Each structure stands twice: as C-alpha cells, then as structure tokens.
Chains A and B, each alone.
Chain A
Amino acid sequence: MTSAQIEIQLIACIVAIACAIPGAFLVLRKMAMISDAISHSILPGIVIGFFLTEDLNSPWLILLAALSGIITVVMVEYIQKTGLVKEDTAIGLVFPALFSIGVILIAKNAGDVHLDVDAVLLGELAFAPFDRLLIGGTDVGPKSLWVIGTILLITLGLLISFFKELKISTFDKQLAATLGFSPVLMHYGLMSIASVTTVGAFDAVGAILVVALMIAPPAMAYLLIKDLKKMLVLACIFGVIAALAGYWMAHWLDASIAGSITTVLGMLFLIIYLFAPNSGLISVLHRQKRQKIEVHLLTFLLHLQNHQEKSERHINHLNEHINWHKVRATSVVDLALKNNMITIDDHIISLTEKGRIFTTEAINYIITNKSAAIEDMKERFFLFRG
C-alpha cells in the first residue's frame, strides 16, 4: 500500500466513527431524516464561508456551515410548532430551500469558486491526501485528516462527559427536564455536533455518504444489540468495516470510493435486516409462524381438556372437529408431543398432567393477563412474549 492509500483509508475510518456516534443518538431519537436535511442545507453556509476564507478546511467555514445546519433544525421546529404541517413535511420544506440558495450562490459566482454541487454531494476521497497541512513548512499529513480527527476527538470528549445526560434526554425527555438536565440544551448540542461532523466530513466523503455513515451503522447495531454502549461500539465497527471494504471495492472496480462505501453499507444493512437474530425480518416471520402454531396448540389442548369422549380425541378426527388442514394439525400435534403435553395411545390423544397444567395456566394468563405465573413458560413459547 502507498502512503496515500493508507491515508485515504484512515480518513474514511475516522469519518465513519465520527458519524456513527451522533448518528446513533439520531436513530434512537427517530430523527434520521434531520441528518439528511442538515447535510444538504449546509451548502449555503459552505459557499458563504468559502467566499470569506477561500479555504474549505478553515475552522471558520466549518462553524459557519454548521450554523446553517442549526438554522435548519430551528426552522424545521418552528414550522412544526405552528401545527400546520408534520415534521417530515417541515423538513421537506426547509432543506431544499436552503440547498437551492447554495446552488444559486455557486452558479452566480462560478468564476471565483472552484466548488461545485457534485463535489459537495459526492466528495472525492481519492483527492483528500493531496491537500496537505503544512506547519512551519513541515508536512504533517492531509488537512482533512486533521479536521475530521479534531472533530472526532471533540465528539468523543463530549460523549464521555455527557453520556448519562445524552442517554436520559434521549430515553425520557420529560424525566431529564424534571431532574434539571435541559433536554433543549442536549438537543441543540447533539444537532451542533451532527452539523459540525457533517461539514467536517463532506469535503472528503460528500454529503450523501455522511448521511449513510450516520444512519446505517447505528441502525444495524440497533437491530443486533440492546445495550446503548455496545450499540455505539458496534456502530463504529460497522462504519469502519464499510469504510475499508468500500475502499478496496472501489480500488478493484476502479469506482468512486464514496459510492462503494455506500454500496457496502447498503448490502450490510440488507443482510442484518434479514438475518438479525431477534428483530430481523426472517426471525420475525418465523416467530409469527410459531405464534400461529401455538395459538392452535392452545385451542387443541383446550379441546382435549373439554372432551372426554374417545371419538373427539381420535387423531383422524382432528380435521373435522377443529377444522384444521392436515399440515397444521401435524405440526401442532408434534409440538404438543415434543413438550410431553399429550400422549397418543392407539390413535387416541390424551392430555398429560403437564398438558393439563399448561392449558389451565395459559388460559388463566390470557383471561387475567397476570404475567408472574408464566415467566418460565415464556422461555419456551413465543406465545407469551410481547
């Protein structure tokens, strides 16, 4: 690997981590859309900042552009508060307006600005190593590495200091308020970090990849893990995996790095969305199927409990008596047998003691909704889980 290749991968990984941290809180606050809005509406801030500083990596430009991110959030909330439109509509109204102001500013001053809309949206990671930071004539590395590295350090510092405040204001805004932690302050703090990160990262990776890196890795981690700290770590790991895999995919396909990273993120998300152990699509469908069988199991056991006469308990009569298709009847009988709830003696089905107790308790649960009694059944049966 050349040193440029290493630098590109390093920048991509740091951007991924810097995005995943605020992104995780945006996902938990169900505010993923706002990152999309911020990523577009920082454009006028970037253009105006560029007129003033002539340097895409100037801290002033970053702050100015981040300010237009905050203005977006304020405007969205203001429009929403009028109660005339919903939040998504408000977002849809605000960011195209700000973005188009940016586009017009660029078009009007095309001569003076070597800044184009494509570069803002897509970025060009491959060029990042060419813009060096010189301190007293010494080359200390690519500028964007320093910019995003600084932003990551600030983000990490704030995350560690204010972890409990962020957690409580995300989980329960009202409790946070009554305990003296201003949720408004936390909200704007988070929005500021998201804006600064977006601005700091767009030059290297483009606005679209910033959004993808903020939302996809935390969303994947959320599907897999139910612990906030672990979710944050896992989101960072997913971001880094996508950054590295995307880089090498681009290398082999000779394609855009940002595009490849986004593609990898998309594929990773699809895999996890389908196969996540508890919340993945396949597992959810499987659980629904089991629940259906279990409801039938209960109906079946109840039928046995209510009927002593042999004709009602003959295995071949299940179809007629409870109106089942063969397949379902078989899986229900199998499930009952497997759990020692019934015995079959010469085609006649009888409830075992265990089956009797289970039926009584289950019915009791359904009627009274009393949960303590069936805690241990919950482990074995889907029926009683949420």
Chain B
Amino acid sequence: MKEKIAIKVDDLTVAYNFKPVLWDIDLSVPEGVLMAIVGPNGAGKSTLIKAMLDIIKPIAGSVEIFGKPYKKQYKEVAYVPQKGSVDWDFPTTALDVVMMGTYGSLGWIKRPGRKQKKEALEALEKVGMLEFRSRQISQLSGGQQQRIFLARALVQQASIYIMDEPFQGVDATTEKAIINILKELRKEGKTVVVVHHDLQTVPEYFDWVTFLNVKKIATGSVKDIFNDDNLTKTYGINYKVSVLQ
C-alpha cells in the first residue's frame, strides 16, 4: 500500500428520510490511484461520493480529505457529477460551463477574467472540444457534454478528481479520450475516483477498486481483489469474470 491517504471515510452511515442507504462504510483511498467504485443500481455509489464531497450530510461517521474535513480542502477536490444531474437547456455555452470550474479559486463576488478564460480554453483543448467552445450546451452530443464536464473539472487543478459514471451514454471515442486523460492525471500523481458500470473494462482502466452494495464489500488493488468472489458478494448472483488478466 502507498503511504499517503487521499480520502479517508470513517464509519460513514448515510440515510434519506431516515432510511439508511450506506451502512458503516470504512474506506481509505491512497494518493495516486485510479479507483473504480462498482456495485449494482441503487447500491449507494452516488451517495458515497456525494458524502465524500460534503453535498450530503451523513447521520454518522466522517470523511477526511488529506487528513482534514472537506470544508477546509474543497480546492483540492474536483467533482464531475452525473450528466443527467443538470439541465442542458440552461442558456449558456460550452466555454462558460468550463469557466465555472474556476469559480472555486475565485471565491465570492470576484468575476472571472482573462486568466480564467485562458485556463478554460486550455482545458477545452485537452478534451478536444475547443472548436465547440461557443456552442450552446443543448446542441452538444452526450459524449461532448461529458467532455465539457471533464474540462470543467480539469480547470479546477485539484489533487483529487471524483466522477459519477463519466462513461454513461458516451461514444467509444469519448470513452477512450476520457480514460486517457484520467490515466494522465494519475501519472501526474493525482487521485481519481470513478463510479463505473462496465465491469469488463475495470482491469483495463483502473488499478484500484471498491465494491459497494449498501455496505463496503471490499477495497484494494484490482490485481488482488477484482475476482468472482467479490463480484458475487456485491451483485448477489454468480459472477464469472473471464476478462481477468
């Protein structure tokens, strides 16, 4: 195991309307890993990352980002929400959405200027969306919208990137482009946490994995723990992964 812990989740229990959807989760994400969170629909994957990001308040337990509460560390963390969580008919352009990533470092009231615009354009270039910068966001395809979200996270220049199903409803080219950027981030020493659906690609894309289904089933390196046993425990049916390397 690597030395420094990026995200530490301690005895976390989260409930909606007093009905717990996450029970007593303990989890340490080492710095510099590219981690997948896998589990069936309704397992609480989105809820777990929202709790990590302090969007949802847990009824018990705590989350630490590099040893401190989220509120003190929010500049270290960039979040890519599920594409469906926003209204894509909102009157704004691709560039403007990416600029929103700079708002955190600006703080209250101060307005984005030339520097922020330059950063946003660079991020757009990185995700291959520069030519679409002036396009209204409803005029983008699903894959393009996801790239915009990724670019917005990139301009935050965070140490930790947390994403909810970034590959959902995107084309194969976009999926490749996104995973390449994520691998690049890991190379730069960043920590990346991704809610992921496609079990086939876990060994190819990720080096760390957490199995989740209301409780934490297992967490560790893909090599050690991505096996039929944990998959069966998580999904409740007999699983055979033929893709294991």
The interface of chain A, by Cβ under 8 A from chain B, is 28, 30, 81-83, 161-165, 167-168, 170-172, 174-175, 177-181, 222, 225-228, 230-231, 368-372, 385-386
Contacts and interface: CB of A to CB of B under 8 A. Distances in A.
Q: Classify chain B: how many residues form its interface, as a range.
A: 35 or more
A81 B18 CA distance: 11
Contacts, number: 91
Most buried by A among B50, B103, B106, B136: B103
B41 interface: no
Nearest to A369: B171
Given A83-B17, A222-B91, A180 B136 contact: no
Nearest to A230: B91
Interface string B118-162: 000000000000000000101101011000000010001000000
Interface of B: 17, 50, 53-55, 71, 74, 77, 79, 81, 85-87, 90-93, 97, 100, 103-104, 106-109, 111-112, 136, 138-139, 141, 143-144, 152, 156, 171-173
Given A168-B103, A368-B172, A177 B54 contact: yes
23 contacts: A28-B91, A81-B17, A164-B103, A164-B106, A165-B109, A167-B100, A171-B87, A172-B81, A172-B86, A172-B100, A174-B81, A174-B85, A178-B54, A178-B104, A179-B104, A179-B156, A180-B104, A181-B108, A226-B138, A230-B91, A370-B171, A370-B173, A371-B143
B90 A28 contact: yes
Which of A81, A167, A180, A230: most chain B Cβ within 10 A? Answer: A180
Contacts of B106: 164
Contacts of A222: 91
B98 to A, nearest CB: 12
A230 B93 CA distance: 13
A225 B90 CA distance: 10
Interface of A is mostly: helix
Nearest to B70: A178
A163 B111 CA distance: 9
A71 to B, nearest CB: 23
Given A175-B100, A222-B91, A162 B109 contact: yes
B55 A174 contact: yes
Contacts of A162: 108-109
A372 B111 CA distance: 34
A171 B86 contact: yes
Nearest to B81: A174
B171 A371 contact: yes
Nearest to B156: A179
Contact of B111 (A82, A164, A230, A385): A164
A174 B87 CA distance: 12
A83 B77 CA distance: 32
A360 B112 CA distance: 45
Contacts of B172: 368, 370
B141 A371 contact: yes
Given A168-B100, A174-B50, A179 B92 contact: no
B79 A181 contact: no
- Chain A to chain B: the 10 pairs with minimum beta-carbon distance, closest first: A179-B104, A226-B136, A371-B141, A226-B91, A178-B79, A171-B90, A172-B86, A178-B53, A228-B91, A177-B55
B17 A231 contact: no
B93 A227 contact: yes
Given A28-B91, A172-B100, A179-B74, 17 more contacts: A28-B90, A162-B109, A164-B103, A164-B111, A164-B112, A168-B100, A171-B87, A171-B90, A171-B97, A178-B55, A178-B77, A179-B104, A180-B74, A225-B91, A226-B92, A368-B172, A386-B139
Nearest to B135: A226
A17 to B, nearest CB: 19
